[in-house]
Amino acid sequence: MEKLGKILNRIDSYRDAMIDMQIRLCAIPAMAPSNGGEGEYKKAKVLLAFLKGLEFDKIEMIKAPDLDAEGGYRPNILAYCSGNDSSKTIWIMCHMDVVPPGEFALWNGNPFKAWVVEGKVFGRGVEDNQQDMVAALYAVKAFRAEGIKPNYNIGIALVSDEETGSTKGIKYVLSHADPFKKEDFIIIPDVGNKEGTIIEVAEKSILWLKFTTYGKQAHGSTPERGINSFKAAAFLIRELDSLYRTFGGSDVLFNTPTSTFEPTKKEINVPNINTIPGEDVFYMDCRILPMYELGAVRNEISKCVQKVEKAFQVRIVTEEVQNSPAARSTSADAPVVNALKKAVREIYGGQAKPTGSGGGTIAGLLRRAEYEAAGWSRTDETAHQPNEYCVIENMLGDAKVFAHIFLQP
């Protein structure tokens, strides 16, 4: 308890430095090339310099080739700090990339020039995923400053490309330099709630679909001369709503206990009002409970498509934009889950419980590789929103949770 008290006090002393780090990192728009950015190169340089200043025992850079990114690669950083017992490593894994800011008019300030108001840091990426990236780094810094060794090895993983599929991030790391052991604790602080009482141990399958409907363009006043692709697509959306009934089971483990099948993005068809469109494109986001096979979902979708094709004499092409089957769940009694429960109870006073998530994180990729990964953080869940913010006390508190875990026997 004496060691933990020293560490917690030291973390409190870093409050201003942690805010400054947030502001500095926010000023680097580490967006993927596919999102109009240059990648994580500049952000990784700043983080590498910080890690070297902490004198980690070992720092590795794993470069995933990407000719569209600055430097020609996407950086992935693995930093190691030795503990009293090297039989396992306590990993904190965060992602360096951020999503685009969206509509600038919806922000109260420059999304890449962070500002502080009423105990919060505002800016793109400050919660997703910099809050716990900074928390983890300063937790380690506190150990170094106090001259205290953690009970087990600490690993800090800073990966790229999480927001656009992780092909250049953790997927590349796992296939080229897998640094993990089955005994390791792997914490992904990229999911949570305001109370910090959610420990994410399971994810739904993700299926993103693109539907292109081909009809026949015609003048708006003579619909009999054309085939309205937009109208057919609208009926298809209604038909696809039947998926909610066909796959209507529920699982209370998940915070949204049912599968979801939602039409989302809609592409522009014709530019003018008085033309019947001959081609129409929309997308669908499906989050499917692990109890259902993706093959069964695809079959039902195919039936819906065929029904609309026959009724409207259109051709519909279905493409999969993303296909991510649910991995096995992390055990609710896994050591990493129990360690998080204990730390959250003692630092925040809350009772955290294992939960399933509809969103996709890199934890799912690690579970698919047979590692016991758990997602956790305490956040206001403002990721991807305009005026995204990080509660400063959450950043400090999460650093203390990590420190508590680093000292657990």
* Cβ 276 vs Cβ 223: under 8 Å: yes
Catalytic residue among 40, 97, 128, 184: 97
d(CA 216, CA 236): 17
Phi, psi of 361 (to 5 degrees): -130, 175
Catalytic residue among 40, 66, 162, 163: 162
Give the gyration radius of the chain's Cα atoms.
24
To 10 degrees, what angle do helices 2-13 and 130-146 make? 120
* Cβ 170 vs Cβ 29: under 8 Å: no
CA distance readout (Å), 367 to 68, 255, 256, 344 = 29, 19, 20, 23
Contacts of 185 (CB under 8 A, 6+ apart): 88, 89, 90, 91, 335, 336, 339, 372, 374, 405
Q: Is residue 398 among the annotated active site residues?
A: no
Phi, psi of 216 (to 5 degrees): -145, 125
Contacts of 189 (CB under 8 A, 6+ apart): 92, 94, 129, 131, 132, 135, 136, 375, 376, 377, 398
The secondary structure of residue 124, as a DSSP letter, is: T
Q: Is residue 251 among the annotated active site residues?
A: no
For residue 228, whether the previous peptide bond is cis, meaning omega lies within 30 degrees of 0, is no
Extended strands (E) in 189-339: 198-203, 205-214, 218-219, 260-266, 275-276, 279-288, 315-324
Q: Which of the residues are catalytic? A: 97, 162
